[in-house]
Amino acid sequence: MRSVGVVVNPEKVQQNPEVVVRVRQVLAALLRCGLAVRVNEDGARAVGAEELAATEQELADLSDALVVVGGDGTILRAARTGAVRGVPVLGVNVGGFGFLAEVGLDELQDAVDRLVAGRHAVEERMMLAAEVVRDGGVAERYLALNDMVLTKGGYARLMPLRVCVNGEHLATYLADGLIVSTPTGSTAYNLSAGGPILSPGVRALVITPICPHTLTARPVVVDADDVATVEVATGVEGVLLTVDGQVGCPLRGGDVVRVHRAEERARLVRLKPPSFYELLRRKFAWGER
């Protein structure tokens, strides 16, 4: 390992001054080890390390690993960035729900030491690719770790969404929207919409309608190698595609969104044996009353 990128969510710095202290210690230690260190621009400003500031592109292109200090949102974004070149991501949770983080802020230094020394494992997670097909061509491409979501803004909510799997018609949902989620994303929006939990290693996706106006619908779990397409009916406007709850693009009537397993995989740094069910129990008090 020769270069480490550090991504800091500047909002978390504001909420918790300890973040500055801890991150500055780690930056100093990394530099002492002779490593090239880059910090995202906002984060660098927030912790007073402007001299290490780099663009997101530089972080993605030049880092051998990414250390991400923030909540699940920051980690999701870094995971997408890192996935293109297969860069592993160490998630460090600061506040928030923390489903993707591996350690807390108080373990940051020790975790980075182990990362640099190579005393860590890497867990790969399936990702989703989506193409927006418009006028016969691909207008947009996206990569997601959690989910691809179609919703409708504004007052009127219901819209018909024709969903196919491998070209075969599954259903035309009249709904608020539709989620195609990875196992990783199953604890996010899919859960809110009534979907099942998918254990991280399951070779499957889940297609969950959001508030369908029918009783005859349930989340449908399909194979990881299946291709889901969602068609926005002609004339329907105001539909949005949202990627990991963060990035998005407006869709037009007639657009088809094709969602399938991405070739890229998110690579999460693991320092302890991963234990998804323990996480479920800790975060959700799973099964307890």
Q: Pick the closer one to a copy of itself by CB: 36 or 170.
A: 170
**Cβ–Cβ < 8 Å for 89, 64:** no
Select from 20-28, 57-65, 133-141, 174-182 the region that touches a copy of itself (CB under 8 A).
174-182
Residue 195 in the binding site for a copy of itself (CB under 8 A): yes
Residue 278 in the binding site for a copy of itself (CB under 8 A): yes
Q: How far apart are alpha carbons 199 and 197 in whole angstroms?
A: 6
Residues 143-172 touching a copy of itself, rule: CB under 8 A, are: 151, 153-157, 165, 168-172
CB of 281 to a copy of itself, least distance (A): 7
Q: Work out the number of other CB atoms within 10 angstroms of the CB of residue 72.
A: 22
Q: Pick the closer one to a copy of itself by CB: 47 or 198.
A: 198
CB of 259 to a copy of itself, least distance (A): 15
CB of 71 to a copy of itself, least distance (A): 13
Residue 101 in the binding site for a copy of itself (CB under 8 A): no
Residue 229 in the binding site for a copy of itself (CB under 8 A): no
With CB under 8 A as the contact rule, the residue among 221, 236, 257, 266 that binds a copy of itself is: 221
Residue (of 81, 95, 96) closest to 267 by Cα position:
81
Q: Which two tokens stand for residue 46?
A: 């927030």
Residues 43-72 touching a copy of itself, rule: CB under 8 A, are: none
Three-state DSSP state, 19: helix
With CB under 8 A as the contact rule, the residue among 226, 233, 254, 265 that binds a copy of itself is: 226
Residue 227 in the binding site for a copy of itself (CB under 8 A): no
**Cβ–Cβ < 8 Å for 148, 241:** yes
Q: Is the dihedral of CA 256, 195, 193, 156 positive or negative?
A: positive
Q: Pick the closer one to a copy of itself by CB: 63 or 146.
A: 146
Q: Which two tokens stand for residue 137?
A: 């061509």
Q: How far apart are alpha carbons 154 and 149 in whole angstroms?
A: 16
Residue 272 in the binding site for a copy of itself (CB under 8 A): no
**Cβ–Cβ < 8 Å for 251, 239:** yes
Select from 38-46, 254-262, 264-272, 277-285 the region that touches a copy of itself (CB under 8 A).
277-285
Q: Which residue bears the tokens 């207008």?
A: 139
Residue (of 15, 71, 14, 77) closest to 40 by Cα position:
77
Q: How far apart are alpha carbons 285 and 36 in whole angstroms?
A: 41
Beta bridge partners, 226, equal: none
**Cβ–Cβ < 8 Å for 198, 183:** yes
**Cβ–Cβ < 8 Å for 214, 174:** yes
Q: Which residues are catalytic?
A: 72
Q: Pick the closer one to a copy of itself by CB: 219 or 254.
A: 219
With CB under 8 A as the contact rule, the residue among 35, 174, 233, 271 that binds a copy of itself is: 174
- Bin 154: left if φ > 0, else alpha if -120 < ψ < 50, else beta: left
Residue 285 in the binding site for a copy of itself (CB under 8 A): yes
Residue 233 in the binding site for a copy of itself (CB under 8 A): no
Contacts with a copy of itself, residue ranges (CB under 8 A): 97, 151, 153-157, 165, 168-176, 183, 186, 189, 191-199, 201-204, 206, 209-223, 226, 240, 242, 245-246, 248, 275, 277-278, 280-281, 284-289
